[in-house]
């Protein structure tokens, strides 16, 4: 895994339009590999910032001079189609791609405008951060992430090869997928989870402090992405309104079944030692089914390295809150000769302590526990 400078150089000069998080990251990555990157942005300030960060050189030609082999449109999603259209006209010999996170709408708009799409390949790098703008950009933002390529029927195959080279140059994993299929996929794995996280987090706005103080790791995980930028997400969700609406409608149907079951259960009279009366048995079943269905869906999500979730053994260590404690425990893990597959640090509300969960291959578990205990760590049995 690495940036691929050979692929970057083969690209020739690359024009990047839009120097926010994604555009600036493309520029940083390609520049680091020695490619010539020409930057454009409607905002002179944003352009200057991206240049100062090392993302490339402001395009001196603006459509009338230095030839480019590839144009990467990395503008906000609501103007992507219009900018792609301009770039296709201004650079008839270049391949044009965009990095908008929704693909079918861009394509539809380009077709509606009657554009010649021979040299256009839509794309979507599955990378992002909760922070936005060039200041958050990094040249290896795309390292190891899927980069979806959505070629158009009748494309020049060389155009697809060029955009694939872009993905490889930035260390990403190219995945070819038609635009409509991509949009349904991201609705499911990205856009709907975002909406769900926001809806759950929104419920906390006016909650009593004492309630919030009981929050644990589960709530933190469910709501982490709820920290995202509202303006950007309004654009993304608007652009993928059909597929997101379809998945959310099915989710609401499930939610309605849960609500119906909860209403039946709330009507039960409490009776010490009674088992549930007739109606509520079915209601309990409906609630259990949603959780069971969630188990099945959850098990399909790939773990490390994109494979099926590996069954690692977990070693849990108590970490005192003092300088270097985490460093020392990992030094001791290294000294024990154990390879760490995953780590998670769980903090305890109200207490100066963390629990570090170290995932290792099952065969290594016992050895690591013994070694860490011998080094004086409190290993949770």
**Does 135 contact a copy of itself by CB under 8 A?**
no
158 versus 189: smaller Cβ distance to a copy of itself: 189
According to CB under 8 A, which one of 301, 311, 363, 376 is a site residue for a copy of itself? Answer: 301
And the tokens for 356?
Answer: 């570090």
Cβ atoms < 10 Å from Cβ of 5: 14
6 versus 202: smaller Cβ distance to a copy of itself: 202
Tell the burial category of 369 from Cβ atoms under 10 Å away from its Cβ (0-12, 13-18, 19+).
Answer: buried
**Does 310 contact a copy of itself by CB under 8 A?**
no
According to CB under 8 A, which one of 9, 48, 76, 145 is a site residue for a copy of itself? Answer: 145
> Residue holding tokens 């992405």?
225
**Does 89 contact a copy of itself by CB under 8 A?**
no
**Does 63 contact a copy of itself by CB under 8 A?**
no
According to CB under 8 A, which one of 10, 12, 57, 78 is a site residue for a copy of itself? Answer: 78
* Count of residues engaged in binding a copy of itself, rule: CB under 8 A: 163
Q: How far is the CB of 297 from a copy of itself (least distance, A)?
A: 4
Q: How far is the CB of 292 from a copy of itself (least distance, A)?
A: 4
Q: Could you tell me which residues come within 8 angstroms of residue 249 by beta carbon, excluding any fewer than 6 positions away?
A: none
**Does 334 contact a copy of itself by CB under 8 A?**
yes
CB 123 within 8 A of CB 71: no
Footprint (CB under 8 A) of a copy of itself, residues 360-379? 378
289 versus 365: smaller Cβ distance to a copy of itself: 289
Which of 248, 249, 192, 197 lies closest to 221, judged by CA? Answer: 197
66 versus 370: smaller Cβ distance to a copy of itself: 370
**Does 201 contact a copy of itself by CB under 8 A?**
yes
CB 269 within 8 A of CB 276: no
**Does 306 contact a copy of itself by CB under 8 A?**
yes
And the tokens for 341?
Answer: 């597959």
> Residue holding tokens 């942005």?
41
According to CB under 8 A, which one of 302, 366, 370, 373 is a site residue for a copy of itself? Answer: 302
> How far is it, in rounded angstroms, from Cα 81 to Cα 103?
10
Q: Name the phi and psi angles at 194, rounded to 5.
A: -60, -45
Compute, in degrees rounded to 10, the torsion defined by CA atoms 254, 256, 260, 261: 20
Q: How far is the CB of 94 from a copy of itself (least distance, A)?
A: 19
CB 276 within 8 A of CB 268: yes
Footprint (CB under 8 A) of a copy of itself, residues 152-181? 171, 173, 175, 177, 181
CB 240 within 8 A of CB 248: no
CB 164 within 8 A of CB 149: yes
**Does 305 contact a copy of itself by CB under 8 A?**
yes
Footprint (CB under 8 A) of a copy of itself, residues 220-239? 220-231, 233-235, 237-238
**Does 290 contact a copy of itself by CB under 8 A?**
yes
Q: How far is the CB of 323 from a copy of itself (least distance, A)?
A: 4
Footprint (CB under 8 A) of a copy of itself, residues 263-282? 263, 265-266, 268-273, 275-276, 280
The Cα angle at residue 56 between residues 53 and 62, in degrees rounded to 5:
130
256 versus 370: smaller Cβ distance to a copy of itself: 256
According to CB under 8 A, which one of 244, 315, 371, 372 is a site residue for a copy of itself? Answer: 244
DSSP state of 338: P
């Amino acid at each position: 895994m690495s940036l691929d400078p050979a692929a970057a150089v083969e690209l020739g000069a690359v024009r990047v339009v839009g120097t926010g998080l994604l555009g600036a990251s493309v520029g940083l990555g390609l520049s680091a590999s020695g490619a010539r990157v020409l930057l454009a942005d409607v905002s002179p300030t944003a352009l200057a910032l991206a240049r100062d960060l090392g993302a490339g050189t402001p395009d001196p030609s603006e459509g009338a001079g230095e030839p480019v082999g590839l144009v990467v449109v990395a503008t906000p999603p609501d103007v992507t189609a219009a900018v792609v259209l301009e770039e296709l006209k201004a650079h008839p010999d270049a391949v044009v791609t965009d990095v908008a996170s929704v693909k079918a709408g861009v394509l539809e708009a380009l077709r509606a405008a009657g554009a010649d799409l021979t040299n256009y390949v839509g794309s979507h790098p599955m990378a992002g951060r909760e922070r936005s703008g060039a200041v958050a950009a990094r040249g290896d933002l795309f390292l190891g992430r899927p980069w979806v390529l959505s070629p158009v029927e009748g494309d020049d195959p060389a155009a697809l090869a060029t955009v694939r080279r872009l993905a490889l140059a930035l260390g990403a994993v190219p995945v070819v997928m038609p635009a409509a299929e991509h949009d349904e996929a991201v609705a499911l794995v990205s856009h709907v989870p975002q909406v769900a996280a926001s809806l759950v987090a929104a419920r906390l706005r006016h909650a009593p402090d004492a309630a919030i103080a009981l929050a644990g790791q589960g709530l933190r995980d469910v709501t982490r992405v709820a920290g995202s930028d509202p303006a950007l997400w309004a654009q993304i969700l608007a652009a993928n309104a059909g597929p997101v609406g379809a998945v959310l409608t099915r989710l609401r149907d499930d939610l309605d079944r849960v609500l119906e079951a909860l209403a039946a259960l709330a009507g039960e009279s409490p009776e010490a030692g009674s088992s549930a009366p007739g109606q509520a048995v079915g209601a309990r079943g409906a609630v259990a089914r949603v959780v069971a269905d969630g188990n099945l869906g959850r098990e399909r999500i790939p773990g490390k390295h994109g494979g099926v979730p590996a069954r690692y053994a977990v070693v849990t260590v108590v970490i005192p809150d003092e300088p270097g404690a985490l460093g020392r425990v990992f030094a001791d893990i290294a000294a024990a000769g154990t390879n760490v597959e995953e780590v998670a640090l769980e903090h305890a509300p109200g207490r100066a302590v963390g629990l570090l969960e170290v995932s290792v291959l099952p065969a290594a578990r016992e050895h690591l526990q013994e070694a860490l205990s011998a080094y004086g760590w409190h290993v949770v049995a």
